[in-house]
Structure 1
Amino acid sequence: MSFARKLKRNKKKLQAVTTAAMAGLALAAVIKPVMAGTPESTVSGVVFADKNGNGARDINEQGIPGVRVSDGASIVVSDSQGNYTLTVNPNRRKTDLVFVTVPDGYKVPVNESMIPQFYQNLGQLQADESRVADFALQPAPETQNPNFDFVGIADVHVQAGTTNNRERFTGQLAQLNELTGSPAFITISGDITNGASDNEFKDFTASTATSKLPVYPAVGNHDFTGGADFSARIDRYRNYLGPEWYSYDYGKKHFIILENNLGMREADQMAWLKADLEQTGKDTEIVVITHRPFNNPQTPDAAEAKKYIDLLGQYNTRLVLMGHTHVNDVATDTIKSADHVVTNSSSYTIDQTPNGFRVVSFHGGKETHPYKMYGVNKNLVIVSPAPGSKVPQGNVQLQANAYNTSSRVTEAMYRIDGQEWHKLSPTGEMTWSAEWKADKEALGEHTIEVRVTDDGSRTWSESSRFTLVGADEAAIPAQGANWPMFHGNAQHTGEALDELSPELQLAWSHLTDGTILTSSPAIVDGSVFIGTRDENGTEQNSVLSLDLKTGRENWKFVPDAQIQASPSVANGIVYASSIRGTLYALDVKTGQKLWEKSIGQQDVQRAWMYYSPTVADGIVYQAYSSKGGGEIMALDARTGDAVWTAKLAGGWIAENAPVVKDGKVYVGADGGYLIALDAKDGKQVWRKQPAGGWMHSLPAIADGKVYMGYGGGLLVALNAETGAEVWRYRSEGESYIAGGTTGSSPAVVDGVVYMGFPNGKVEALKADNGEKLWSAATEGGIISSAAVSGATVYIGSNDGKLYALDKQNGTVQWSYKIGAWVASSPAISGNSLVVGAFDGNVYAFTSEKK
């Protein structure tokens, strides 16, 4: 720097100090004391209004007072002329960055990768060095509008040769840029890369360069390199994407991006956050973007997390957006006044939901954050009356499912036989319905047309031809043998005790405002029991009891979180577990809670229960993941009193629903383990690891063998006594499901194993040696598990259909298009099949044969 330049800069610094003192402004809010001997560098400059956007300060462009400038440790505020001086410890980070908190009414330019340039990379400062860093903020009145949208995504995991390579992520960004409603920007809640390599960061920024929307990143645990300390491990991220924590204002909201992987233990982040919040004040609404949730076993350092929870709860925190766990989950009891919102991954999901994102909307003082699926283009399916179906005269429920990734369907209309158009009413995120009074309509063939319109004024339509028959031809659902739990029994064989012919008609659909993913019905004594999820909040989480004959609600129990698992019913009690680590025992007739067992309810790191309880011989068995790792508990089914608890494996969403047979309990656990325990005391009999990874398939046991599915379409059979492997089989073909998750569980009937795979195939294998007997292809990955009734195999697919396959050769005997993932597994009783779908609805089908 020239002498003249130094003199000019020192003069500005003197003027800044004098002006600040006269104006009563705090030039610097020092939030980390400088210890004796700590090296210092000085960064100074001016924050100015860049009216012409050329990045340089012209003579008529004024400084902006009151703007926060920080290195992530200290915060100073620009004076009345826009000047600031910041003291930096050059040893704190390998690469020194300085950033501003962009206030409402301004924006900053983006770089070639569409990352907002609110920061400057100063390289490696030396002790006693002085640097100049000016910040050009462009006037942007639109950023003061409190009514706006933005997009939140999580866990991108960009890496060549993996699930989410550069090409796939670029395609996802293209979908976000096509959204109606003109979102202002995209936020990413961490795990930008999969391994933090240079090539991965380059692929990520090459993808974001194609976006029309600015991208604000946060750090995930996958974004750290190796290194001796925090400074070394975060350095690559800082060089590509900027500071690991920062803030900005937009739309009268204050956005805070935090690093809560390793950063939760970094004292300078907490000090910076306290100062940032103090300067923001308690009236401004706050939105936090970070990586890890604050309420489950993956929350790092519970004691430190509690400090962040308490601090954010002292301010007007409205929303916290996170990722990490690759699930959708919303809680309202974690941080005071805030929605604690986890969004599943853009790479692969662990709760098995479709990959998606959230459109966060602030309008009229209200905030919403609906989840949306990637990759759905103007979907419209007439669910009822379905093409070719027979519909009895009477009051007919008309139903259509409509969805589009890039827009919101705002209107649906129908007409019969080309007559007058009538409105359909919305339920949930994709269902539209109305009642058609068809008691006096002519018998015979009719046509229904459905037309939908989105918020971009685009329309699309479908039609269906159906036959109206006499009311006396209606097949009324009737109870047969009970189907009391997932796959029908405590061995999870999937064998129905009633024979159901595949000529099925829809008897009823029960509409909910939630979703149904893998929760599968139990059918007991004329009632259907199933769990629902709320992807966007908490109100639609429920355990439902429905009348089998009519589909009407008997009762609804509201749990503390989503019900992903299937309920089990025994001796007048319904058992259902929530993902928040609570097992409920409910009265079968009233839904009244009899008892509950919660794991870690008072802890920050609450437990997970994603999989179903199994009831056998007066004991209810429930596996869960906790901060101490995976465990399974055996409880007295009547009282909930503990009988025993046994350790399983790791702490991820993997400890699954056990099977019980011949005095043993068999359960899958994190890391690919299959474990046999003594049913009396929980002592381990054997432990095997046929494969690695997360477990989503549940075990089945029959004829002395335990069968378990693993990722990538693998099915393994083990000897039930010894755990020795008998055979393994891998279904070949490209997976429809990102990451190749095997979510289907084996059904075992009469010496044959029936299994769905992520490649969309349903295959039959000899139970004794794994030899393939037949293979049937669907057009979507399969998470649903087969139910076998008589000569027919029933199973759902993510192609939106429910299938009936010939048990002997796999030929499709019947199918029904719902137009939403059918990941729920069918339950069969009497003349009826009941299943849930991701549209949130429960469907009952009956056989035409009397």
Structure 2
Amino acid sequence: MRRAMVAMLWFACGCAAAQTPGGTVFEDGNGNGVRDAGEPGVAGVAVSNGREVVRTDGQGRYALPMPAGETVFVIQPAGWTVPAGADGLPAFWFQQPLATASGLRHGGLPAGAPRSRVDFPLRRAATSDSGLDVLVFADPQPKSRTDIDYYRRDIVEPLRGTNAALGLTLGDIVDDDLSLYPAIKAVTASLGVPWLHVAGNHDMDLDAEDDADALQTFRHQFGPDTFAREEAQATFVLLDDVIHQPGMKPAYVGGFRDDQFAFLEAYLPTVPKERLLVLGMHIPLFEQAGRDTFRDADRERLFALLRGFPDVLVLSAHNHTQQHWFHDAATGWHGAQPLHEYNVGAACGAFWSGVKDADGIPDATMADGTPNGYATLKVSRGGRYALAWHPARLHGDDPAFTSAMALHAPKVLREGAYPAWGVYANVFMGRDDTRVEYRVEGGEWMPMRRVSQPDPRLLVENMRDDLADTLRGYDRSPEAKPSAHLWRGALPTDLGAGEHFVEVRAFDPWQGEQRASTSWRLMQALP
């Protein structure tokens, strides 16, 4: 903050303003991206180089160091919007070139002469008291143009005409082949939604010698790796949390750099606490049992900065499964309420694997039984929010597979057998406290028991792959692993021979009661 105050004083006293790198944030009344006569500056807008944060003065001017290789960006304030660039993505940033070419395989940052002045246009946004609708993608992760076509047809095209006001991709935009960036950008931008991108471990320049250079190509294509955006209902802070460790095992770990903490320490104290604060990142802050995937000191340092915020939501990706996690003292969180982290399922599911459907798109079910798809976040004023998962494809009109859950039950059981077999409900947005019930033949609702085991639907697919004499798809479905959102209820065998009906309901905290149903048969048999 001390350097920010010095920058403002430079303008106030007019001392060496011509030699100080900076520019103006202005109201672009005609939308041409150039400051024309009569277009005023916008005061009080935050501008950053990823470490320091300064505010524009009464004429919209700012001063900020912008050395070679740095990304300077404006933080869109609530009530305003930044224009779209030539690639269709929000043009809120400028990348200073390097003094010499990086020599990285995928291009890295361009070389050239740095600019000492960068102006940012803003346009006034329409005000609305309705909630903010956000699309949330995680891990599209195409490894080829074939996969980009899956992404286009499976995820993007069904969303054409969406009313979403913002979109987020939480990393692994591609699968190491950074030459695919322009193609996937074009597909995402075709939705016409302002879209922000987080870097993932598969978005790095893997030939970079250190973490400082590992996102050069990403920054050339998408802008800063750590930044913020303000809306009337929420403040979004997007963070690179992948530390590149070339030559080490593992080759990366979750964490943050000192310059990122400098940005957060400068910016977060200015964020209104009556809005929801949304943090988007790739690697989850939580760790699975027995795995050390995130630097504890970095997580605790971040949590200390967040402690004064009453309403915080963390969105993460990376795992290619789906889970809700509530941080408490065990993970270093000491806020008044547990900190909610939603680990979003992957757009590519299990890396675009599995048997293709009639449209030639792989099944892509994830290892925990969650179908591939995308999430939505709806934010209301006062810090309230609602989340939902949207499977990319449903199985026709099958009542056992809905947008909220998928059921599995045996097709046939012996009448009078010991009732050792059950119906399973994979509730995609299920949490530890989710209430899930079932009833048989319209009878009384009974509680289902949450179990930590693989989804039998995926186990069946694994067995089909095992028993097949030839490949059933380009890549097999993943090996089923214990799901964090699976429930079981025992099926009775004393109902008489014939078909019987079972119904399941789950109570979602945001979407309300959700139902699915299936059936099984009882048959008579002799020893």
Give the alignment's TM-score, normalised by structure 1. Answer: 0.47
Q: Answer whether contact 1:714 1:731 (CA < 8 A) is retained.
A: no
Whether 1:97 and 2:66 are equivalent positions in the alignment is no
Aligned match of 1:647: none
Matches within 5 A, 1:159-174: 159-160=143-144, 165-171=147-153, 172-174=155-157
Report the 3-state secondary structure (helix = DSSP H, G, I; strand = E; otherwise coil) of the residue aligned with 1:222.
Answer: helix
Assess, with a 3 A threshold, how the Cα gap between structure 1 residues 152 and 537 changes in structure 2: closer, same or farther. farther
Report the 3-state secondary structure (helix = DSSP H, G, I; strand = E; otherwise coil) of the residue aligned with 1:136.
Answer: strand
Q: Answer whether contact 1:50 1:56 (CA < 8 A) is retained.
A: yes
Q: Alignment partner for residue 215 of structure 1, among 182, 195, 199?
A: 195
CA distance in 2, matches of 1:375, 1:75: 43
Matches within 5 A, 1:232-243: 232-243=213-224
Amino acid at match of 1:733: R
Q: Alignment partner for residue 265 of structure 2, among 274, 277, 283?
A: 274
Whether 1:533 and 2:416 are equivalent positions in the alignment is no
Unpaired runs of at least 5, structure 1? 1-11, 21-26, 28-40, 384-399, 404-427, 432-475, 484-520, 523-527, 558-562, 564-575, 578-609, 613-656, 658-695, 699-707, 716-728, 746-782, 784-821
CA distance in 1, matches of 2:491, 2:372: 27
Report the 3-state secondary structure (helix = DSSP H, G, I; strand = E; otherwise coil) of the residue aligned with 1:238.
Answer: helix
Aligned match of 1:702: none
Aligned match of 1:312: 306
Matches within 5 A, 1:198-213: 199-213=179-193
CA distance in 2, matches of 1:213, 1:301: 34
CA distance in 2, matches of 1:175, 1:733: 26
CA distance in 2, matches of 1:249, 1:139: 13
Higher relative contact order (CA 8 A, sep 6+): 2
Q: Alignment partner for residue 845 of structure 1, among 515, 520, 523?
A: 520
Q: Answer whether contact 1:44 1:86 (CA < 8 A) is retained.
A: yes
Amino acid at match of 1:160: S
Whether 1:259 and 2:235 are equivalent positions in the alignment is no
Q: Answer whether contact 1:201 1:240 (CA < 8 A) is retained.
A: yes
TM-superposed deviation, 1:137 = 0.6
Q: Deviations over 1:814-848 (max 9, x none)?
A: xxxxxxxx999997956678988897546453437
Aligned match of 1:481: 418
Q: Answer whether contact 1:191 1:219 (CA < 8 A) is retained.
A: yes
Q: Answer whether contact 1:477 1:549 (CA < 8 A) is retained.
A: no
Aligned match of 1:344: 345
CA distance in 1, matches of 2:44, 2:381: 28
TM-superposed deviation, 1:482 = 4.3
Q: Answer whether contact 1:158 1:203 (CA < 8 A) is retained.
A: no
Assess, with a 3 A threshold, how the Cα gap between structure 1 residues 333 and 541 changes in structure 2: closer, same or farther. farther
Matches within 5 A, 1:277-288: 277-288=268-279
Q: Answer whether contact 1:109 1:116 (CA < 8 A) is retained.
A: yes
Whether 1:140 and 2:125 are equivalent positions in the alignment is yes
Q: Alignment partner for residue 134 of structure 2, among 128, 150, 158?
A: 150
Q: Answer whether contact 2:71 2:95 (CA < 8 A) is retained.
A: yes
Aligned match of 1:713: 465
Q: Which has the higher helix share?
A: 2
CA distance in 2, matches of 1:714, 1:846: 27
Aligned match of 1:740: 476
TM-superposed deviation, 1:50 = 0.6
Q: Answer whether contact 1:115 1:215 (CA < 8 A) is retained.
A: yes
CA distance in 2, matches of 1:842, 1:175: 26
Q: Answer whether contact 1:148 1:362 (CA < 8 A) is retained.
A: yes
Whether 1:367 and 2:385 are equivalent positions in the alignment is yes
TM-superposed deviation, 1:222 = 0.7
TM-superposed deviation, 1:313 = 3.3
Assess, with a 3 A threshold, how the Cα gap between structure 1 residues 714 and 76 changes in structure 2: closer, same or farther. same
Q: Deviations over 1:638-689 (max 9, x none)?
A: xxxxxxxxxxxxxxxxxxx9xxxxxxxxxxxxxxxxxxxxxxxxxxxxxxxx
TM-superposed deviation, 1:271 = 1.6
Q: Answer whether contact 2:82 2:122 (CA < 8 A) is retained.
A: yes
TM-superposed deviation, 1:611 = 4.1
TM-superposed deviation, 1:360 = 1.1
Q: Answer whether contact 2:418 2:493 (CA < 8 A) is retained.
A: yes
Q: Alignment partner for residue 16 of structure 1, among 11, 18, 22?
A: 11
Aligned match of 2:362: none
Aligned match of 2:160: 177
Aligned match of 1:633: none
Unpaired runs of at least 5, structure 2? 1-6, 101-111, 244-253, 351-365, 408-412, 506-513
TM-superposed deviation, 1:99 = 0.2
TM-superposed deviation, 1:743 = 5.3
TM-superposed deviation, 1:88 = 3.7
Assess, with a 3 A threshold, how the Cα gap between structure 1 residues 402 and 302 changes in structure 2: closer, same or farther. closer
Assess, with a 3 A threshold, how the Cα gap between structure 1 residues 215 and 129 changes in structure 2: closer, same or farther. closer
Assess, with a 3 A threshold, how the Cα gap between structure 1 residues 355 and 51 changes in structure 2: closer, same or farther. same
CA distance in 2, matches of 1:744, 1:54: 53
Q: Answer whether contact 2:52 2:263 (CA < 8 A) is retained.
A: yes
Assess, with a 3 A threshold, how the Cα gap between structure 1 residues 115 and 732 changes in structure 2: closer, same or farther. same
Q: Which has the higher strand share?
A: 1
Whether 1:80 and 2:58 are equivalent positions in the alignment is yes
CA distance in 1, matches of 2:372, 2:161: 17
TM-superposed deviation, 1:327 = 1.6
CA distance in 2, matches of 1:245, 1:45: 21
Assess, with a 3 A threshold, how the Cα gap between structure 1 residues 173 and 536 changes in structure 2: closer, same or farther. farther
TM-superposed deviation, 1:86 = 0.4
CA distance in 2, matches of 1:547, 1:53: 59
Larger-Rg structure: 1
Matches within 5 A, 1:303-452: 303-333=297-327, 336=335, 337=337, 338-347=339-348, 348=350, 349-363=366-380, 365=382, 366-376=384-394, 380=397
TM-superposed deviation, 1:256 = 0.5
Amino acid at match of 2:182: K
Report the 3-state secondary structure (helix = DSSP H, G, I; strand = E; otherwise coil) of the residue aligned with 2:299.
Answer: helix
Report the 3-state secondary structure (helix = DSSP H, G, I; strand = E; otherwise coil) of the residue aligned with 2:376.
Answer: strand
